[in-house]
């Protein structure tokens, strides 16, 4: 239930921010992406998989529903045909009866869900890009603060051991000692390190 409420909060807050400006909406959506690992670790519910999806959907609805300036419309027209092509080909492949329809739907989502960011990027001007750069810089500082806290207080203080974080606890440092890799606010880097460890030990 808490994860569902977080998804709703992500959608609503990013929608409101996106109505104000491109950089605010995109920056807040990225903030939910940055914090996804910590949130999912502490609320390992099925709905927590969709926190960033909800934020991205709120951003799409906010940006594409608001009026466009003539310059924005011109920029969108330049990239829109490529977005259509990038969407149409995987959509066509998803209609072919190759695998189970649900599997193909999941694969299609992974390929096309973030394509609207191409159009979103075309709408940015220099001022909005500078504001977005500030957002990203601030988020990186926050991620570093989490990493520092994990180094001092320990990873379990931020990532309790459960099914969502198990990969963090079974992938140690490159020398295979007892020290954990510091995941900051993310869980995926641990997955990459574990994949490399598994490749070495299974070969």
Nearest to 36 by CA among 153, 181, 188, 193: 188
Q: Would you put residue 186 in left (φ > 0), alpha (ψ -120 to 50) or beta?
A: beta
pLDDT of 175: 59
pLDDT of 23: 94
Q: Supply the DSSP string of 107-132, one letter for each residue.
A: HHHHHHTTTHHHHHHHH--HHHHHHH
pLDDT of 98: 83
pLDDT of 84: 92
Cβ density class 97-121: b for 16+ within 10 Å, e for less = eeeeeeebeeebeeebeeebeebbe
The ranges of the chain with pLDDT < 70 are: 172-178, 187-203
pLDDT of 178: 66
pLDDT of 182: 83
Per-residue pLDDT tens digits for 6-42: 999 999 999 999 999 999 999 999 999 999 989 999 9
């Amino acid at each position: 239930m808490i994860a569902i409420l977080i998804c709703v909060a992500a959608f609503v807050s990013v929608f409101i921010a996106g109505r104000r400006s491109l950089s605010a909406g995109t920056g807040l959506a990225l903030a939910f992406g940055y914090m996804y690992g910590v949130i999912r670790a502490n609320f390992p519910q099925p709905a927590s998989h969709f926190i960033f999806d909800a934020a991205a959907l709120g951003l799409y609805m906010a940006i594409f529903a608001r009026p466009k300036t003539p310059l924005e419309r011109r920029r969108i027209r330049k990239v829109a045909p490529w977005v259509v092509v990038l969407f149409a080909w995987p959509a066509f492949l998803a209609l072919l009866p190759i695998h189970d329809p649900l599997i193909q739907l999941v694969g299609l989502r992974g390929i096309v869900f973030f394509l609207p960011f191409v159009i979103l990027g075309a709408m940015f001007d220099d001022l909005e890009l500078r504001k977005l750069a500030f957002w990203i810089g601030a988020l990186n500082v926050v991620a570093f603060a989490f990493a520092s806290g994990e180094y001092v207080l320990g990873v379990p203080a931020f990532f309790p051991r459960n099914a969502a974080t198990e990969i963090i606890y079974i992938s140690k440092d490159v020398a295979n000692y007892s020290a954990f890799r510091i995941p900051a606010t993310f869980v995926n880097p641990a997955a990459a390190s574990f994949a490399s460890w598994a490749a070495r030990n299974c070969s």
